[in-house]
Amino acid sequence: MKHLHAFFLFLAGCALLMACSKEMSHDGTGFPTCDYAPYTTGSSFSYIDVNLTRDTIAYTLTVSGDTTINGSTYKIVKDDSVFFCSNCKDGNYTQIASILTFQGYKADSLQLTYLRENVPQGGSWSDTVTVSNGTLTTKAVLQHTITQKSITKTVNGKDYLDVIAVKLDASAIVLDNPVPIGTISTSYYAKGIGLIEADQADDTIKLVSYMLKP
């Protein structure tokens, strides 16, 4: 479902219900050094979401402007049902999301680093969040691993250059020991464009077209 897109960028598995404090940015610089999320105001990205039975949902996300959260500037990316806030600084890409659900686990109020473009292939980093499963509340570790870098990726018949692939695995901490939950997604980001594909167990999201505003 297209709501999963928001957690990939979208890390997979999210429904976004976050109400961001809408204050306009005053720096006027945007994110000129962050080519893997070119979220200039007015830019748009059209995707299809195809599930295992080949059912397809088409949708377009548009960058509607800036917002300030805890003193940092984020870009608002949304359509009529998906909403998330994205930030990039020095090649580190973060996203504000809310209500992650996966394999029965639920997490609220997430701030996640979904891409670090300067990490080499094979390198990884992690985010730790609080999750609940019924009456059980524990910590979960979301590990991001660069599985491929500087590759060419074909999506919907189009070749994209300088692509980075990021695999996302989840583990729950039970009695101080990590218990693997599984792989959530593998996402592909193209330089100068952003997310072009996100693969997970039940569906695949693919970029169809995009329009970048200066």
- Structural domain total, the chain: 1
Tokens 């429904």 label which residue?
Answer: 15
What average pLDDT does the structure give for the chain? 78
The answer to whether the beta carbons of residues 84 and 96 sit under 8 Å apart is: yes
Q: Which residue has the higher pLDDT, 94 or 23?
A: 94
**At 7, phi and psi to the nearest 5?**
-85, -15
Can you read off the two tokens belonging to residue 110?
């997430």
What's the rounded Cα separation, in Å, for the pair 18 and 101? 15
Tokens 């996203």 label which residue?
Answer: 95
What's the rounded Cα separation, in Å, for the pair 129 and 82? 22
pLDDT digits (tens, 9 = 90+) for 89-145: 888 998 876 445 555 555 555 678 999 999 999 999 999 877 666 677 777 888 999
Range of the domain at 106: 2-211
Most confident of 56-65, 95-104, 153-162, 193-202: 153-162
- For the chain, the residue count is 214
Q: How far does CA 109 lie from the centroid of its chain?
A: 14
Q: How high is the pLDDT of residue 26?
A: 30
Q: Which residue has the higher pLDDT, 187 or 8?
A: 187
Q: Which residues pair with 133 in a beta bridge?
A: 136
Q: Which residue has the higher pLDDT, 11 or 87?
A: 87
What's the rounded Cα separation, in Å, for the pair 157 and 205? 14
Q: How far does CA 91 lie from the centroid of its chain?
A: 15
The SS3 of residue 90 is coil
Can you read off the two tokens belonging to residue 108?
């609220």
Q: How confident is the model at residue 88 (pLDDT cuts 50, 70, 90)?
A: confident
Q: Which residues pair with 180 in a beta bridge?
A: 171
